[in-house]
């Protein structure tokens, strides 16, 4: 495994954040009801359940996660 952190962009405020892929419980492809733009909903487990919406789409997040295991 390489560096377990991926960098994503939060939908609220556009801030960058780094997530440890070992804390990801699941993630889901989503769109806003008033837009066709795809976003990703990520569920994290780190001493409790935390969720975050990120601008990167499902396919981009999948590739980032898979890259950490190569």
Query: What pLDDT digit, counting tens, does each position of 12-39 carry?
Result: 999 999 999 999 999 999 998 898 899 9
**What is the CA 51 to chain-centroid distance, rounded?**
9
Q: Which residue ranges make up each domain of the chain?
A: 5-67
Q: Which residues of 27-46 are buried (b: 16+ CB within 10 A; e: fewer)?
A: beeeeeeeeeeebbbbebee
More confident residue, 13 or 1: 13
The pTM (predicted TM-score) of the whole model is: 0.88
> What does each C-alpha distance from 10 to 7, 15, 52, 70 come to in angstroms?
10, 5, 7, 25
């Amino acid at each position: 495994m390489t560096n377990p952190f991926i960098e994503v962009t939060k939908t609220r405020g556009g801030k960058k954040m780094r997530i440890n892929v070992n804390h990801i419980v699941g993630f889901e492809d989503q769109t806003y009801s008033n837009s066709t733009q795809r976003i990703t909903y990520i569920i994290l487990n780190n001493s409790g359940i935390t969720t975050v919406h990120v601008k990167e789409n499902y396919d981009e997040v999948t590739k980032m996660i898979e890259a950490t295991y190569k």
